[in-house]
């Protein structure tokens, strides 16, 4: 029982901290604080991708607030670290100064990767739910 309460708290903390970080980045840029001392490379290379990451993490972790804790626990242990590492590696491989019709900026790469991660999380929840339903409906054979 203590483990369930721990992961409920972790889910709420993850959601609230990602809301705070995304809102802070948004207000930092929109109020013009970044215009004074941020270089274009800093804004395009770090601030915009971080905003996209935390915005989509807020949405994904917010969905888990309404689901049973066992889904969040597995997602938090296995899917979140892999997705974060892969997103970071993929975004760091993109040049800050992108030009061209088909090239993606770092923020677009992060948005793309996190959208794929969101779909994978949705697929994980649906398959886990269906697997539990099939186990509960399977008749037991008595010997």
42-62: pLDDT as tens digits: 777 778 888 889 999 999 999
Neighbours of 88 (CB within 10 A): 14
Residue 56: both structure tokens together: 């989509």
64 domain residue, yes or no: yes
Angle, helices 80-92 vs 106-137, to 10°: value is 160
Say yes or no to pLDDT of 76 above 80: yes
Residue 99: both structure tokens together: 């030009």
76 domain residue, yes or no: yes
102-135: pLDDT as tens digits: 677 888 888 899 999 999 999 998 998 888 888 8
111 domain residue, yes or no: yes
Domain residues for 84? 2-126
Q: Average pLDDT for residues 74-94, to the nearest whole number? A: 88
136 domain residue, yes or no: no
Which H/E stretch holds residue 121?
Answer: helix 106-137
Is the pTM above the cut of 0.75?
yes
């Amino acid at each position: 029982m203590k483990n369930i309460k721990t992961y409920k708290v972790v889910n709420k903390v993850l959601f609230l901290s990602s809301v705070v970080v995304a809102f802070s980045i948004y207000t930092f840029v929109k109020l013009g604080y970044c215009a004074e001392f941020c270089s274009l490379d800093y804004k395009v290379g770090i601030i915009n991708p971080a905003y996209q990451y935390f915005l989509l993490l807020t949405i994904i972790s917010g969905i888990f607030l309404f689901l049973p804790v066992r889904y969040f626990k597995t997602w938090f242990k296995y899917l979140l670290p892999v997705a974060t590492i892969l997103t970071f590696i993929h975004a760091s491989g993109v040049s800050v100064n992108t030009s061209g019709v088909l090239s993606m900026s770092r923020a677009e790469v992060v948005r793309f990767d996190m959208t794929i991660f969101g779909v994978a999380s949705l697929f994980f929840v649906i398959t886990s739910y269906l697997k539990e339903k099939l186990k509960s409906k399977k008749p037991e054979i008595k010997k």
